[in-house]
Structure 1
């Protein structure tokens, strides 16, 4: 049986206990912690809503994973201002990957899967008058939905949308125009 010693006192840590990491004494670590705390405070709700609007089945986990990824790559960010764009892009990519994974998994399921129920938190974020729009938005292809959400909900420029989605500005225009046309048609059909 291996015994762990506490780094600060040299005392033995009881078996089964997880040794704690020493406190961050590096100024870069302290800056990362402060930057991430601020990023979380300012943007968690909007990133959660973004994941919901993009169709994530578990938006809380998608956003948590995005924050974890930015935590790991914090030192490679060019500046703190790039963190929000990186986080937004990561939420888009993780949601897209999760949806693709679920589509593949559902193809290989022998019996039909039950309908995915949105979490109480994501449901509470939406007003009743938005539900019809959200339902119509969910019926759009993923790229059209992403382009519309990034453009009209977050108010991003075409170049920012292109960077977040990993496509060209021309493709952003195409997806946005097609998505708006399909959304307009779906909304008029429901009235």
Structure 2
């Protein structure tokens, strides 16, 4: 896994970067970017990336089961740490804090994946039910015209019978958000059906 840890300079359209082993890796870059805007990472963070980057990636890979997703997640974690380095170094244990950031980010990614899969399954189930229903009033055609999030709320609540709490969990929003989407969807449906 090559994690880029430092951008040294930008000249003649090529930026010089270094991977975790300290090898120089030229990349394409805009020629007009001044050197002072290049990324400078704290030495402690570079050391952390070199000594623990592989372990971070292995942990993320083990939990996510996807090498590309693990690499992207670890890159994001190190970028977040770099962006908030001032906070990180104020912690009692820098290594513990950085590991906690990684673990929390992995857990969040897992929750998002689960939520996404749950919503996809619910939408597939609804599509199956939906296709077998007929509506002389044009309701089902009108529901298909709703914006994505309103459509999802209507399907979860009214077609699949989810309560507000379960729909909120599936959509990754608050119950209030689900109720707002449901209310707005009903208003839009009324307007669509009134025009027909």
Please give the range of the TM-score, normalised by the shorter of the 2 chains.
0.3 to 0.5
* TM-score (normalised: structure 1): 0.40
Bigger relative contact order (CA 8 A; separation at least 6): 1
* TM-score (normalised: structure 2): 0.39
Higher-Rg member (1/2):
2
